Structure 1
Amino acid sequence: MKRIIYIAFGILLSLVLLLTAVDIVAFNMNHYKREFAKHDITTVTGMDDENLQHVTKELLSYLRDERDDLKIEAVVRGEKREVFGEREKLHMIDVKDLFVGGRKVRKVSLIILGLLLILFIKTDKDWKRNLAKTFMFTGMVNIDLIILLFLLMHFDFTKYFDYFHYIFFDNDLWILDPNTEILIQMLPQEFFFNTAVKIALIYAGTIIALGIGGFWYKKRQIL
């Protein structure tokens, strides 16, 4: 039973770190600015840099649940208009639900991790050693999974990006027309590939640090 609880701790910790990495990248305006410049999004969307940044900031505010709708106006190809159509708005409702749900899961997971840590301290005289071992094996397992993810992304990102949508969405609203819909023009598949890589690298960095910390403590105890 003790082993199962420590495994559960490792899984919850992994989830918290992953969701944190997603938040760090997804709400980083500098990330969007770099990607917009790299893919010449001002030309693709017909918005200048000022309007593009305005729309992006409002979009991120919506995903943070700081605004209720996506009725955003901007100058597009010289004409002031509402940026997103009905299909785009409906899809972003689903996306917002994912982000809001993810933050709730992270909060609950942090509470459970705190309670488990208290349980370890009170009931397990070897809790430091066992926790270090948990960190070490959590790091090893996650690095293997990240390497597998990188390989899958490298060989066929589109396929697994589609799988992501099939798993998390129960409709086809995510299939947008790049010729007419600005949301997909702003955030093309290349953007999501680079975003996924950055999330994976941040997550890998924290996981490696965790694993090294666990290994160092365990080795010190042996010595």
Structure 2
Amino acid sequence: MAHEDPTVAGSFESTRARPLSLAARLTHGGSGPTIPLAGSRVRSAPMLIVSRLAAALFVVALPVFLVTANVRFLASDIGYYKHGFREFDSSGRTGLPLSDLDRAGEEIIEYFEDDAETLRILVTADGQETSLYNAKETDHMRDVKALIRTVYRLNEVSLAIVLAYVACAVLWTGERTVAGLARLSLAGVGFGVAVVGVVGAFALTGFDQAWTTFHEIAFRNDLWRLDPDTDRLIQMFPEEFWQEATFIVAGLTLAEVTLVVVVSLAYVVFARDKTGAGGPVPSPAAGPRAVES
């Protein structure tokens, strides 16, 4: 029986067509200009800069999304408003029944979501229907709405950045980029923990001063300086209400950060074990690997 020449067999094996990944097909295949992708080996200097900028945006956007999502959740949670009204005796401070305060909380949430410029809430006091807030409080609520809507937009933009980066990384590259994504997530939450830690330490050492500093930065006027003896807005939402809300947002963010850290570390370790055991697992987008003889 004739034996196959190993030189010929090896030559045949090396020239046999193998499936190319999506990145390789778009970078090397076909006629016309090629498209260098993040997962391809041919990367121009501009593409490298874009890739690094995108990674930096992801690192910043991830903690921004987590914090703003928690702020948005609490600002829209009527359950927390009702808890605060009862916990901090808003009824006793304002002289209004809890039913009116609960309804006011619902209308404030709607005000943050709709396009109305002025918040007008009517209540019954001393047998007469009157506006819940005076002109100064109403003007301040207009500023608060602008700030809340900015937080909402930041939440949406940061989510879009995170999703776009994840989609592009998974679509155009293989598992190694997913492992890199896990490392970027660790960097992002690390950045977020550092910022939250600094703010939290500042708040713990003196929340009153931290709260005043926040208002001086966030608002361009003094409408936020309200009188707790006469202004119902601060009677409904005293400083203690906001201190508790701040710690809730910080606690939720740290819980989410812990989850991201655990998942990211688990994937990095898993990917490292797979690499050590027999090379990286091919990405689904990369197509089947040819079996070596």
- Normalising to structure 2: TM-score of the pair? 0.71
What does residue range 99-114 of structure 1 map to in structure 2 within 5 Å? 99-114=148-163
Equivalence for 1:95: 144
Q: Distance in 2 between matches of 1:148 and 1:114?
A: 27
- The answer to whether the aligner puts 1:43 opposite 2:43 as a matched pair is no
Aligned length: 223
Q: Distance in 2 between matches of 1:92 and 1:35?
A: 18
- The answer to whether the aligner puts 1:8 opposite 2:61 as a matched pair is no
- Deviation string 1:151-193 (CA, Å, 9 cap, x unpaired) is 2111111111111112111111111111111001100100000
Equivalence for 2:75: 26
- The answer to whether the aligner puts 1:180 opposite 2:180 as a matched pair is no
Q: Distance in 1 between matches of 2:87 and 2:194?
A: 30
- Deviation string 1:105-155 (CA, Å, 9 cap, x unpaired) is 222332333332333235544210110001122223322333333221111
The 4+ residue runs of structure 1 with deviation greater than 6 A are none
| Higher helix residue share | 1
The answer to whether the Cα contact below 8 Å between 1:47 and 1:77 also exists between their aligned partners in 2 is no
Q: Distance in 2 between matches of 1:30 and 1:122?
A: 40
Q: Distance in 2 between matches of 1:3 and 1:211?
A: 22
Q: Distance in 2 between matches of 1:33 and 1:103?
A: 22
Q: Distance in 1 between matches of 2:114 and 2:217?
A: 23
Q: Distance in 1 between matches of 2:89 and 2:190?
A: 39
> Secondary structure of the residue that 1:74 maps to in structure 2?
strand
- The answer to whether the aligner puts 1:214 opposite 2:246 as a matched pair is no
Match of 1:191 among 228, 236, 241: 241
Residue identity opposite 1:6 in structure 2: A
- The answer to whether the aligner puts 1:85 opposite 2:143 as a matched pair is no
- Deviation string 1:57-91 (CA, Å, 9 cap, x unpaired) is 11111112264432211123554311111111111
Q: Which runs of 5+ in 1 are unaligned?
A: none
The answer to whether the Cα contact below 8 Å between 1:134 and 1:214 also exists between their aligned partners in 2 is no
The answer to whether the Cα contact below 8 Å between 1:135 and 1:214 also exists between their aligned partners in 2 is yes
Distance of aligned partners of 1:77 and 1:188 in 2 relative to their CA distance in 1, 3 Å threshold: farther
The answer to whether the Cα contact below 8 Å between 2:90 and 2:235 also exists between their aligned partners in 1 is yes
Q: Distance in 2 between matches of 1:28 and 1:176?
A: 24
Residue identity opposite 2:266 in structure 1: W
Q: Distance in 2 between matches of 1:138 and 1:194?
A: 26
RMSD in angstroms over aligned alpha carbons? Answer: 1.8
- Deviation string 1:185-220 (CA, Å, 9 cap, x unpaired) is 100100000011111111111111111111111111
The answer to whether the Cα contact below 8 Å between 2:117 and 2:142 also exists between their aligned partners in 1 is no
The answer to whether the Cα contact below 8 Å between 1:46 and 1:77 also exists between their aligned partners in 2 is no
What does residue range 35-184 of structure 1 map to in structure 2 within 5 Å? 35-65=84-114, 67-76=116-125, 78-125=127-174, 126-184=176-234
Q: Which moved more, 1:172-181 or 1:113-122?
A: 113-122
The answer to whether the Cα contact below 8 Å between 1:65 and 1:100 also exists between their aligned partners in 2 is no
Shift of 1:4: 4.2
Q: Which runs of 5+ in 2 are unaligned?
A: 1-48, 274-293
Shift of 1:101: 2.0
